[in-house]
Amino acid sequence: MDISAENITKRFENEWIVKDFSHNFENGSKTAIIGQNGSGKSTLLKIIAGIMLPNKGKIEYRVDKKVISAEEVYKKISFCSPAQELIEEFTLEEILKFHFKFRKPILNYNVQDIIELTYFKGNKNKLVKNFSSGMKQRLKLGLALFTESSVILLDEPTTNMDETGISWYQETILKLLNDRSVIISSNQNQEYEFCESHISMQDFKPRQKTVDS
């Protein structure tokens, strides 16, 4: 799936978060959106995902050069963010079964396969609310990476993860990307070092205060 962003602008009250961002994300591309904290990279990723609307500009999604509707986009995108909510009253097995009622797993993996591949063996009956912050992040990544999708969107993917978790992420994403596109918002090289292109939020107009007339 190709994603085209044209003049994307987002403002909260009188503060510019993203201003006049344009870029074409081609099918199969591996892209990092980088910048310091507060530069707008996470906001931009949410706009690309369709989770947040811009104040100005538009996002278009194309498959074989044909524009697809916003209602169909969610079927082709996997999204992961540290702020993403999990159903904490579910066990690990329950949340995976629930998720994969609505989305297909890649490579015909089943729930038990995914539990083992995400290093959660022995935890299938553990309540998600009792997971550590690093385990919750690994679960969020697992849901995104093991879901059949054309585009994977990751916001600061190794947040709260220890060295073992980071190594798991680095190894797993390389194994599962194949011809899928990935867009990562990050300021940590370890999260996006495999990406072929980098977009720096610093290349765009700086955040500034505006006074409405």
Q: pTM for this one? A: 0.91
Q: What is the pLDDT of residue 209?
A: 47
Number of domains present in the structure of the chain: 1
pLDDT < 70: residue spans in the chain: 203-213
Q: What is the pLDDT of residue 204?
A: 63
Q: What is the pLDDT of residue 178?
A: 87
d(CA 190, CA 193): 6
**55 located within any domain:** yes
Q: What is the pLDDT of residue 211?
A: 41
**144 located within any domain:** yes
Mean pLDDT, rounded, of the chain: 92
**150 located within any domain:** yes
Q: What is the pLDDT of residue 62?
A: 95
**213 located within any domain:** no
**184 located within any domain:** yes
**209 located within any domain:** no
d(CA 188, CA 118): 22
Q: Which domain holds residue 186?
A: 2-203
**27 located within any domain:** yes
Question: What CATH number is associated with residue 52?
Answer: 3.40.50.300
**188 located within any domain:** yes
